[in-house]
Amino acid sequence: MSFDILIKNGKIFDGTGNLGFKSDIAVKDGKIVKLQYRIEDSATRTIDASGLIISPGFIDMHSHSDTGILYDNKLQSIIMQGITTSVVGQCGYSLAPVSEKGFDIFKRDLDMVAPPGVKPAEITWRTFKEYLEEVEKGKISSNIVPLVGFGPIRIAAGPGYEDRIPTDIEIHEMQELTKEAMEAGAFGMSTGLIYSPQVYSKTEEIIELAKIVADYQGLYFSHIRNEGSGLLDAVREFIEIVEKSGCRGGQIAHFKASGKGNWGKSIESLKLVEEANTRGLDITCDQYPYNRGATSMSALLPPWVMEGGIDETLKRLSSEELREKIKIDMVNESEGFDDWYRETGPDKIFISDVKVDEWKDVEGKNVDEITKIKGKADPRDTIFDMLLENEGEVGITVSSMGEEDIRRIMKNKYTSIGTDGWGVAPEGIMAYGKPHPRFYGTFPRIIRKYVKEEGLLTLEEAVRKMTSLSAQKLGLFDRGLIREGMWADITIFDYERIYDKATFEEPHQFSEGIEYVIVNGEIVVEKGKQNTNMPGRVIKHV
């Protein structure tokens, strides 16, 4: 018979964690149909993988590519590191649901992720089902697995940016929106409990929505409430939500111990994960292999400053009296506030992107440096003025993690891999700022640094963490492995040449060594270059 694609002479690491083996692979109608040491049949396309590694397509367990798709559906920095499937709607931020009463504030939030100088995307949908239909119509280069975000649900039906407990009526409306999303194909719900308005939510409020997720055998994902001094309590809260709601499992986002005073806490936090699994829960986590995190500069502010949304926040930053109170609260430890400024210091907070040209010269610099450049007396004034003059749209990276924690978490059997990024590019409208290099290099970096150079993981272990571990968690039983009958999501790379070129100083660089990427049986990256194919799909939970 004739195949669509025939991959010959490569060494397969099939995603199981077993040793690599030599075999040819035949692909037809989007799926792997034959796996044999030598396949001599004809094919429309033949790839000679001599000297190369053949792996299942990488699965990005924590992605924000749903926002990137609005402006560039090629997802260039994602597909070029070998990712064929991304789990989106993370940190409590999905692009649906949208209600009429919450439309304006939702639109204001969404506009903030538009690339500088680019017209913000139009919102033509309201329900989660309508949103997924819009994505499917627009086409994408790789697959996405959708989650519904807790934030949009709270804005659409609950108290929104008000710091209060929802009424019974609001809880019911929020549950109905959660139900609609799950029936439309969401794999679960995500929260981002350091971000307004989610930071105002009590554990019980989240559990009530998570119970609906559990009714559909869904998962609970979370950027937990604190990754620094309150890490252990935040992990306990996460486990409580999974346990009391009855969700099928839980996934802790970008697991870390943030702030030098908290380095080493991963020993205890991983023990909590282990204990939860021992008593029958399914608790896992994901990680990116860098010592800096990334977020919006507004996340440095105490929660009360963010009440009412970004416009109210900017009004407070304009008040000299309130600025003094904010300064005090930024350095005083308080319950429920993941206070990065106090935990790390202004010299560890770097600017990744700004909105206005007047501040472009400080991209890549830290807040201490900028304070001196701008002639200000207090780094907190620098933060306030930057937020005001950029209308709240300032991105930051924060040097907050220790290498021992990174290595300990990476080695753990419950840890998979996520970029916590979206599709950017070295050229065009997505080439703005100095984004975190994880946008370009997460998966190649693990292979280059932690497999090849340091031997922390074997290649078999690394490939499993990048593929089948996530597929099994999600319930994607026809992806994540190189086997007959599986969807042909395949990444082929040169183990000797693989290299993550992106740095914090010069992030806009594709990784090297990713030779071919195949999505649903179509070649999207060929000889290290992306083509125009758009075979990606919205994978729905059923």
pLDDT of residue 173: 98
Residue with tokens 């992990």: 235
What is the CA 499 to chain-centroid distance, rounded? 21
Dig out the tokens for 188 from the structure: 């679960």
Length of the chain: 542
Domain assignment present for residue 430? The answer is no
- What pLDDT, in 10s, does the model give residues 147-187? 999 999 999 998 999 999 999 999 999 999 999 999 999 99
- Contact between 474 and 88 under an 8 Å Cβ cutoff? The reply is no
Beta bridge partners of 349: 398
- What pLDDT, in 10s, does the model give residues 504-533? 999 999 999 999 999 999 999 999 999 999
Q: Name the CA radius of gyration of the chain, rounded.
A: 23
Domain assignment present for residue 320? The answer is yes
Domain assignment present for residue 308? The answer is yes
**Widest Cα–Cα separation across the chain:** 78
Give the count of domains, the chain. 1
When pLDDT is cut at 50, 70 and 90, the band that residue 339 belongs to is confident
SS3 label, residue 23: coil
Inform me whether the pLDDT recorded for 240 exceeds 80: yes
Angle between helix axes 231-245 and 203-215 (nearest 10 degrees) is 40
Please provide the DSSP assignment of 243-303 as one string: HHHT-SEEEETT----SGGGTTTHHHHHHHHHHHHHTT--EEEEE-SSSEEEEEGGGGS-G
Domain assignment present for residue 331? The answer is yes
pLDDT of residue 362: 95
Inform me whether the pLDDT recorded for 32 exceeds 70: yes
pLDDT of residue 333: 72
- What pLDDT, in 10s, does the model give residues 119-141? 999 999 999 999 999 999 999 99
Domain assignment present for residue 311? The answer is yes
Domain assignment present for residue 182? The answer is no
The secondary structure of residue 510, as a DSSP letter, is: P
Average pLDDT, the chain: 96
Q: What is the average pLDDT across 298-313?
A: 94
Domain assignment present for residue 245? The answer is no
- Contact between 175 and 209 under an 8 Å Cβ cutoff? The reply is yes
User: For residue 91, which of 221, 243, 247, 197 has the smallest C-alpha distance?
Assistant: 221
CB atoms within 10 A of CB 19: 11
pLDDT of residue 336: 66
User: For residue 57, which of 126, 135, 144, 138 has the smallest C-alpha distance?
Assistant: 144
What is the phi/psi pair of residue 349, to 5°?
-105, 115
Q: ω into residue 146 within 30 of 0, thus cis?
A: no
Domain encompassing residue 319: 296-399
Q: How far apart are CA 541 and CA 394, in angstroms?
A: 35
Dig out the tokens for 65 from the structure: 């590519």
Inform me whether the pLDDT recorded for 334 exceeds 80: no
The secondary structure of residue 57, as a DSSP letter, is: P
SS3 label, residue 41: coil
Helices (H) and strands (E) in the chain, counts: 18, 23
Domain assignment present for residue 379? The answer is yes
Inform me whether the pLDDT recorded for 269 exceeds 70: yes
The secondary structure of residue 353, as a DSSP letter, is: E
Q: What is the average pLDDT across 496-503?
A: 98
Q: What is the average pLDDT across 233-254?
A: 98
pLDDT of residue 372: 96
Q: How far apart are CA 141 and CA 507, in angstroms?
A: 22
User: For residue 230, which of 190, 258, 254 has the smallest C-alpha distance?
Assistant: 258
- What pLDDT, in 10s, does the model give residues 67-111? 999 999 999 999 999 999 999 999 999 999 999 999 999 999 999
Inform me whether the pLDDT recorded for 312 exceeds 80: yes
